[in-house]
Amino acid sequence: KKLVQIKNLKKYFKTGRRQVRKAVNDITFDIYRGETLGLVGESGCGKTTLGKIIVRLYKPTSGQVIYDGIDVHKTGSPHNIALNKHMQMVFQDPYASLNPRMTAGEIIGEAIDIHSQGQKGFKRERVIELLQTVGLHPGLSGRYPHEFSGGQRQRIAIARALAVEPDFIVCDEPLTALDASIQAQIVNLLEDLQKQKELTYLFISHDLSMVRHICNRIAVMYLGQVVELASKDELFEHPLHPYTQAVLSAIPAPDPDLETTSRRVILPGEASNTFKLSSGCGFNSRCPKAEARCRQTAPVLSEKGSGHWAACHLS
């Protein structure tokens, strides 16, 4: 069942008198209840902007986000406050997103206050319960963010998000700032919470191999657009878009003896250099398979096989 529907979403930023950056450039896809959808792309491709629009931290230039049947950006909607409870976001750098002058208990308590009219006793109990839920000892509630490790800070950020009992969480690179062993612990925590609380995640990452272990489906973004979307097995085994193929070819094989370096696709240029989007496919200046029609007509994301979507003339 669809929980979030993203329809023709656009977010343009003015970067100069005549320049416009099309951070999110006409994106349409659905997120199903209970799944973890990976949103993967290079930095600057618009994935964080898209996440922020979905949870209403940004307003879109145009297009819609429908959450459980409600248009979340429609002004004056009676559902506006309730929506904040349903949708939360966990950020890449927990240190930057936690107030350094508040204790862990105050940070989580503030989130409880914003969304409920609870009494004091109830709040203290709830803070303790949330700290335990994310694997932190309740005795740590009086400590400040700088007294915690990176992994513990991310646990506090997750507890804060859980304080409002959301159904849907956008996790924006929550593992990037952490060591590999700590990353595995946070992944386990997110997976356990998903099972316990029937959460739906949009998991943003720049690393396709990282999301493979966490996600059910993966959407690949390139320059403000989703260029491919499929189940993770389908995407890894039968990538259709030349950009996905190039990214996958750069991931080392688990068995180095099997790695055939000759198959690796090296893309010319940089994504940021091609930001002045011309007509045609946004990937055409770097695409090893580009044809004449790729410079004239932009491909649209369309279903090529059951549940496998790609935006490419050739696929």
Residues lying near ligand SF4 in the complex (CB under 6 A): 241-242, 281, 283-284, 287, 289-291, 294, 299, 312-314
Name which of 17, 45, 16, 47 is nearest 29 in CA terms: 47
Closest distance between ligand SF4 and the C-beta of residue 75, in Å? 37
Contacts of 114 (CB under 8 A, 6+ apart): 84, 164
Question: Which residue, 40 or 210, has its beta carbon nearer to ligand SF4?
Answer: 40
Closest distance between ligand SF4 and the C-beta of residue 66, in Å? 29
Closest distance between ligand SF4 and the C-beta of residue 224, in Å? 14
**What is residue 48's DSSP assignment?**
H
Closest distance between ligand SF4 and the C-beta of residue 286, in Å? 8
Name which of 9, 24, 109 is nearest 65 in CA terms: 9
Could you identify the residue written with the tokens 């335990």? Answer: 132
Q: Specify whether the CB–CB gap between 46 and 20 falls below 8 A.
A: no
Question: Which residue, 174 or 239, has its beta carbon nearer to ligand SF4?
Answer: 239
Closest distance between ligand SF4 and the C-beta of residue 195, in Å? 37
Q: Specify whether the CB–CB gap between 165 and 1 falls below 8 A.
A: no
Closest distance between ligand SF4 and the C-beta of residue 310, in Å? 8
Residue count of the chain, please give it: 315
Which tokens is 211 given? Answer: 């999301």
Report the distance separating Cα 279 and Cα 271, nearest Å: 16
Name which of 90, 64, 93, 91 is nearest 77 in CA terms: 64
Question: Which residue, 97 or 244, has its beta carbon nearer to ligand SF4?
Answer: 244
Closest distance between ligand SF4 and the C-beta of residue 206, in Å? 20
Contacts of 123 (CB under 8 A, 6+ apart): 109, 112, 113
Question: Which residue, 141 or 245, has its beta carbon nearer to ligand SF4?
Answer: 245
Question: Which residue, 166 or 282, has its beta carbon nearer to ligand SF4?
Answer: 282
Question: Which residue, 38 or 242, has its beta carbon nearer to ligand SF4?
Answer: 242
Question: Which residue, 53 or 248, has its beta carbon nearer to ligand SF4?
Answer: 248
What is the DSSP secondary-structure string of 159-227?
A: HHHHTT--SEEEEESTTTTS-HHHHHHHHHHHHHHHHHHT-EEEEEES-HHHHHTT-SEEEEEETTEEE
Closest distance between ligand SF4 and the C-beta of residue 15, in Å? 25
Question: Which residue, 61 or 285, has its beta carbon nearer to ligand SF4?
Answer: 285
Report the distance separating Cα 56 and Cα 76, nearest Å: 14
